[in-house]
Chain A
Amino acid sequence: MQNKDIKRLTLILLFAPFALWILLLIILPHIGMVVLSLKEKVAPRVYEYSFANYLDFLHEPIYWNTLLRTGSMSLLVTALALLIGFPIAYYIAKIAGPRARGGLFLLCLIPLWVSDLIRSFGWILLLRETGVISNFLLWTGLIGQPVEFLYNDAAVIVGLVYTVILFMIVPLVSTLDGMDNSMIEAGYNLGGNGFTVLRRIIIPYAMPGIVAGCIVTFMLSAGSYLTPILLGGKNSSWFTEQIYNQFITRFNWEGGAAFGMLLLLFTSIVIWLGLKLSGQTLANTVAKS
């Protein structure tokens, strides 16, 4: 009996920090945001409950265009991260020797040791008109005058892929790691070529890792703020920037809260669709890795 009590106490103690974290830092603030987003300012210091902020979003094409743009560019970032990350993960998990593996993992981790901001400034130094790449191309004679690589959507995508790719590689490595090499051998023995083995054995096996990586990278890029602001050009709006503008520039916290909820809703729907299409569930993807 006593033993059972102790077990229970241990469980409660172990669970408490997590529960508090979820409750105080995730659930309560979000309830606050929902309440705030349903208020409408009718006069200074006077507020009424209404859906005005959500209707504002629907009536103003700038807002939903920015949201769709953010969503589609984040999907592109996710796809690129998968394309680039998959071979890397496969090499680390299946081809590299046990000693090289640790080193390679470390190499992937190192960029994360410096902050987002510094990494973005690194890209700025490389890409700007008087930056390293432009000067190098000038020196080789490939271009006649300095070229601006910064301040456009491509720069934003490059910066984001660089930032999020690790979150694609880690779940992929851990799923591929669990795959028995004999399955690949069997595939070849049965007459498959490299492509069919990849398509019919490796990818289906790695699917939980792929989906988990995609979910994390998509969420990270749709919610990122610094990289799109610093690398983006005069036409590149990002939805998080709209939220910032509502809160800070326009003093419109109610609108900003509504935008925040909409971003959450939108990314959740995209992920739900992704899970449906790939036939995966949250339980066997993110929760597993």
Chain B
Amino acid sequence: MHLKTTLTGLLAATMLAGAGSAQAETLRLLTWGSYAPDELVQKFEEEYPDIEVEVTFSNNEEMIAKLRATGGAGFDLAQPSHDRIYAAQLEYDIYKPMDLSKIDTGVMEGKLLDGVKANTTIDGEVYAVPHQWGTSGLMADKTKAPDLKSWADLCDPAYKGKTSMRLKRTILLGTAYSMGEDPFAAYSDLEKYQGILDKVADKLIECKGNIKAYWQGGDDLSAMMLSGEIVGSETWDSTAYKLFDQNPNIVFVPPKEGALAWIDTFALPAKGKADDAAYKWINFVLRPENVTLMSASTGAIAAVKGGKDLLPEDKKAAVNAAFTDADIDNLKFFANIPPGVEDMEGKTLEKIKAATGG
């Protein structure tokens, strides 16, 4: 009996605490590292003094895991990539539909907005709008690896022990393209996709001897690249742009098969409590003067009209050094991940990691 009252008391106290913070309007942002630079957060809080911004840094997989754990509670705005919304919503019901009338969709680049809408519409409701886009591709020190042009070149014996990659789905997809397959087209036929994955796994296991180590995050990749321990790697373009600042010989190389393009979005968690504040943040960061601040921090291009021109000068130089217009036309946008594919890819990655290839 006593225990029961204590527990009720505890529960009441927790709920009170929860309600208290909601009244002061806290915008709890679940986003990528560098996607909420202090400068912007401060500016936002000055403009809306009644809103306090709380930021949690994460990545695609962890965002979904966090929201799944609470059924979509605990955060008011999340920023998963456009291909990570459809299946996650179908399986775990963690987002809520967006009210597009509250967002200045007019400033967004039409092609990207339509693409994201097409990818994230379920039963006629739209679940996300685009924020920034960028690519995954290769990075090379052009003095030491001038010929690194294809995903397959990471396995070129000429660079034995001098290349790296992240053991995640990007390299599976890139390798599939380099073997002449079209993995996204195979998403509709999972048996065929498994066949492609098996071939990719064999190739990457064979390639293990060529790899120095698999990188885990932008920091260890940067350290290996800057110290010259590796001469080429699979990378996010933004990481390569940052290194370009420090060593102009390190450039982003869009693979000849086409760089893989992602769009990070805005999505509302199902049990978010500050939707209005979330809409305000979305409109705020899409304003031209704020776009430049954001891109300076993230290295990604905003999904607004003329987003490339709004990049800060140093990033613009890095992008121009990396991409030609033909490369842009050749971009391969990540296709929606159908349910089940994550499991197949995860198993393939485990197989590669466990293989004793060299």
Q: Name A residues whose Cβ lies closer than 8 Å to a Cβ of B.
A: 44-45, 62, 65-66, 124, 128-130, 148, 150-151, 229-230, 233-235, 237, 242, 245-253
Contact B213 A44 (CB under 8 A): no
Is B144 in contact with chain A by the CB < 8 A criterion? Answer: no
Contact B343 A252 (CB under 8 A): yes
A184 to B62, CA, bound (A): 57
Contact B350 A44 (CB under 8 A): no
A253 to B346, CA, bound (A): 13
Cβ proximity bits B198-234 to A, threshold 8 Å, 1 near / 0 not = 0000000000100111101000100100011100000
A66 to B88, CA, bound (A): 29
Chain A nearest CB from B19 CB (Å) reads 23
Chain B nearest CB from A68 CB (Å) reads 12
Known: A44-B90, A247-B65, A251-B91. A148 touches B216 (CB 8 A): no
Closest residue on chain A to residue B62 by CB atoms: A248
| Interface residue count on the B side (C-beta < 8 Å) | 35
Contact of B61 among A150, A237, A249 (CB under 8 A): A249
Is B192 in contact with chain A by the CB < 8 A criterion? Answer: no
Q: Which residues does chain B contribute within 8 Å of A248, judged by CB atoms? A: 61-62, 65
Contact A151 B212 (CB under 8 A): yes
Contact of B343 among A124, A242, A251 (CB under 8 A): A251
Q: Which residues does chain A contribute within 8 Å of B343, judged by CB atoms? A: 250-252
Contact of B354 among A130, A148, A237, A253 (CB under 8 A): A237
Q: Which residues does chain A contribute within 8 Å of B62, judged by CB atoms? A: 248
Is B356 in contact with chain A by the CB < 8 A criterion? Answer: yes
Closest residue on chain A to residue B165 by CB atoms: A234
Contact B354 A62 (CB under 8 A): yes
What's the dominant secondary structure at chain B's contact region? Answer: helix
A247 to B64, CA, bound (A): 10
Chain A nearest CB from B264 CB (Å) reads 18
Contact A65 B91 (CB under 8 A): no
A130 to B229, CA, bound (A): 7
Contact B228 A130 (CB under 8 A): yes
Known: A251-B64, A251-B342. A65 touches B350 (CB 8 A): no
Contact A65 B354 (CB under 8 A): yes
A45 to B343, CA, bound (A): 15
With most chain A CB atoms within 10 A of its CB, the pick from B62, B208, B342, B350 is: B350
Q: Name B residues whose Cβ lies closer than 8 Å to a Cβ of A.
A: 61-62, 64-65, 68, 88, 90-93, 168, 208, 211-214, 216, 220, 223, 227-229, 339, 342-343, 346-347, 349-351, 353-357
Contact A245 B214 (CB under 8 A): no
Closest residue on chain B to residue A12 by CB atoms: B2
Contact B212 A237 (CB under 8 A): no
A130 to B355, CA, bound (A): 27
Known: A151-B212, A249-B61, A251-B91. A235 touches B350 (CB 8 A): no
In the complex, number of A-B residue pairs with CB atoms less than 8 Å apart: 72
Closest residue on chain A to residue B61 by CB atoms: A248
Q: Which residues does chain A contribute within 8 Å of B351, judged by CB atoms? A: 62
Q: Which residues does chain B contribute within 8 Å of A150, judged by CB atoms? A: 213
A66 to B350, CA, bound (A): 10
Q: Would you give 7 A-B contacts (Cβ < 8 Å), ordered by A?
A: A62-B350, A66-B354, A124-B220, A128-B223, A129-B227, A150-B213, A250-B346
Chain B nearest CB from A126 CB (Å) reads 13
Closest residue on chain B to residue A61 by CB atoms: B354
With most chain B CB atoms within 10 A of its CB, the pick from A128, A229, A253 is: A128
Closest residue on chain A to residue B209 by CB atoms: A234
Q: Which residues does chain B contribute within 8 Å of A250, judged by CB atoms? A: 342-343, 346-347
Contact B349 A249 (CB under 8 A): yes
Q: Which residues does chain B contribute within 8 Å of A124, judged by CB atoms? A: 220
Chain B nearest CB from A246 CB (Å) reads 8
A161 to B325, CA, bound (A): 53
Contact A237 B216 (CB under 8 A): no
A235 to B212, CA, bound (A): 11
Q: Which residues does chain A contribute within 8 Å of B354, judged by CB atoms? A: 62, 65-66, 235, 237
Q: Which residues does chain B contribute within 8 Å of A249, judged by CB atoms? A: 61, 168, 342, 346, 349
A65 to B212, CA, bound (A): 23
Contact A230 B65 (CB under 8 A): no
Contact of B208 among A128, A129, A235 (CB under 8 A): A235
Q: Which residues does chain A contribute within 8 Å of B339, judged by CB atoms? A: 44
Contact A245 B350 (CB under 8 A): yes
Contact A235 B61 (CB under 8 A): no
A130 to B220, CA, bound (A): 13
Q: Which residues does chain A contribute within 8 Å of B214, judged by CB atoms? A: 234
Chain A nearest CB from B86 CB (Å) reads 11
Q: Give 16 A-B pairs besides A151-B212, A234-B213, A248-B61 with Cβ atoms closer than 8 angstroms.
A: A62-B351, A65-B354, A66-B354, A129-B229, A130-B228, A148-B212, A229-B216, A235-B208, A235-B354, A235-B357, A245-B350, A246-B346, A247-B65, A249-B168, A250-B342, A250-B343
